[in-house]
């Protein structure tokens, strides 16, 4: 649980948090294999969890998980995100799957919805907005997210980033707050990893034995 339940005036809010979290969890589960179905990623998981939780360095870290399509980046990072160590370490968390079509406002709304339960609902209204109003709304949301995260140790996963424009978006909304926060980004392109991250975890192909195990599981056990 990212937040402690407490039974005072915050109770209703906490229940809403729980509902939002379980909604995110079910979205995430559709992306990520059940952990017992994951094959051959134990070492990568250990090393990433250690990177996220081990150091005494308070500086925010941006870690890229790099590899070709289908290699298991989302699967790996999902296991890391769901691990007990990571849940205990960070005060708040968000997972955002991006695509070429992801609008900046939707991206920020998703972050706000997960970090502090900002209502995500009126995106159609946003689309009808003129550009200057939309730009103001984006700025306002960026400030709000930044203020909220400034005093918190947060973890943010950006899954499937294909564009270096996210450097600017990250810079505007997610503070480098000296609290040991961490951003993990999965991508296929080395150029994107170099532009966005301090450390790159190159995901290797599975060992032949693990690849065979996975093939057999997928082909014969489902
Ligand atoms: N090591 C693994 N163990 C179990 N399943 C795996 C493993 N690696 C990949 N898969 C399965 O293969 C499919 C693709 O994996 P995944 O989505 O994690 O790849 P990806 O590297 O994120 O790909 P993309 O670049 O397209 O986003 C998924 O169905 C996933 O469950
Ligand atoms: Mg992926």
Residue nearest to atom 5 of ligand 1 (CA): 38
Whole-prediction pTM value? Answer: 0.85
Most confident of 1-10, 34-43, 114-123, 184-193: 184-193
Residue 119 pLDDT grade (very low, low, confident, very high; cuts 50, 70, 90): low
Q: Does 125 have pLDDT greater than 90? A: no
Q: Helix or strand or coil: residue 119?
A: coil
pLDDT tier, 27 (very low <50, low <70, confident <90, very high otherwise): low
Percent of the chain with pLDDT over 70: 80
Q: How much is the average pLDDT of 143-163?
A: 96
- Model confidence at 106: pLDDT above 80: yes
Strand partners, 93: 155
The CA dihedral of 16, 153, 110, 171, to the nearest 10 degrees, is: 160
Q: Nearest 5°: CA angle at 99, between 153 and 121?
A: 70
70 lines ligand 1 (CB under 6 A): yes
Per-residue pLDDT band for 187 (boundaries 50, 70, 90) equals very high
Say which residue, 63 or 5, is predicted with more confidence.
Answer: 63
Q: What is the pLDDT of residue 220?
A: 85
Nearest to 196 by CA among 57, 61, 62: 62
- CA-nearest of 213, 211, 200 to 66 is 200
Cβ atoms of 115 and 145 closer than 8 Å: yes
Q: State the distance from the centre of ligand 1 to the C-alpha of 171, rounded, in angstroms.
A: 29
Q: Is the CB of 66 under 6 A from ligand 1?
A: no
CB of 143 closer than 8 Å to CB of 172: no
| Residue 193, Cβ density class (10 Å: 0-12 exposed, 13-18 middle, ≥19 buried) | buried
pLDDT band at 76 (very low <50, low <70, confident <90, very high): very high
Answer yes or no: is the C-beta of 50 below 6 A from any ligand 1 atom.
Answer: no
Q: Does the pLDDT at position 72 exceed 90?
A: yes
Q: What is the pLDDT of residue 157?
A: 98
Alpha-carbon span 83 to 78, nearest angstrom: 8
Is residue 27 classed as helix, strand or coil in its secondary structure?
helix
Q: Please determine, for residue 57, whether its predicted confidence score (pLDDT) is greater than 50.
A: yes
Report the separation in Å between the CA atom of 113 and the middle of ligand 2, taken as the mean of its atom positions. 22
Q: List the residue whose alpha carbon is closest to atom 13 of ligand 1.
A: 70
Mean pLDDT of all residues in 102-128: 80
* Contact by Cβ (8 Å): 105, 134: yes
Protein residue with its CA nearest to atom 9 in ligand 1: 72
Which ligand has its closest atom nearest to the C-alpha of 72? 1
Report how far residue 193's alpha carbon sits from residue 61's, in angstroms, rounded to the nearest whole number: 13
The response to whether residue 74 sits with its C-beta less than 6 Å from ligand 1 reads yes
| Residue of 128 and 93 predicted with greater confidence | 93
């Amino acid at each position: 649980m990212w937040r402690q339940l407490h039974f005072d005036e915050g109770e209703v809010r906490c229940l809403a948090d729980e509902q939002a979290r379980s909604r995110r969890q079910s979205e995430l589960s559709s992306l990520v294999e059940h952990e017992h179905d994951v094959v051959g990623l134990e070492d990568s998981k250990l090393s990433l969890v250690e990177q996220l939780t081990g150091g005494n360095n308070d500086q925010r870290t941006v870690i890229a998980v790099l590899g070709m399509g289908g290699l298991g980046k989302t699967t790996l990072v999902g296991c890391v995100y769901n691990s007990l160590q990571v849940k205990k370490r960070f005060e708040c968390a968000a997972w955002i799957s991006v695509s070429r079509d992801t609008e900046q406002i939707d991206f920020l709304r998703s972050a706000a919805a997960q970090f502090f339960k900002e209502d995500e609902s009126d995106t159609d209204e946003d689309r009808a907005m003129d550009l200057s109003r939309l730009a103001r709304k984006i700025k306002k949301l960026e400030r709000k997210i930044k203020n909220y995260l400034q005093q918190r140790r947060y973890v943010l996963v950006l899954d499937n980033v294909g564009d270096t424009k996210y450097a600017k978006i990250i810079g505007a909304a997610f503070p480098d707050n000296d609290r040991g926060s961490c951003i993990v980004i999965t991508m296929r392109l080395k150029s994107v990893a170099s532009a966005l991250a301090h450390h790159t975890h190159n995901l290797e192909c599975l060992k032949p034995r693990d690849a065979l195990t996975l093939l057999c599981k997928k082909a014969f056990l489902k």
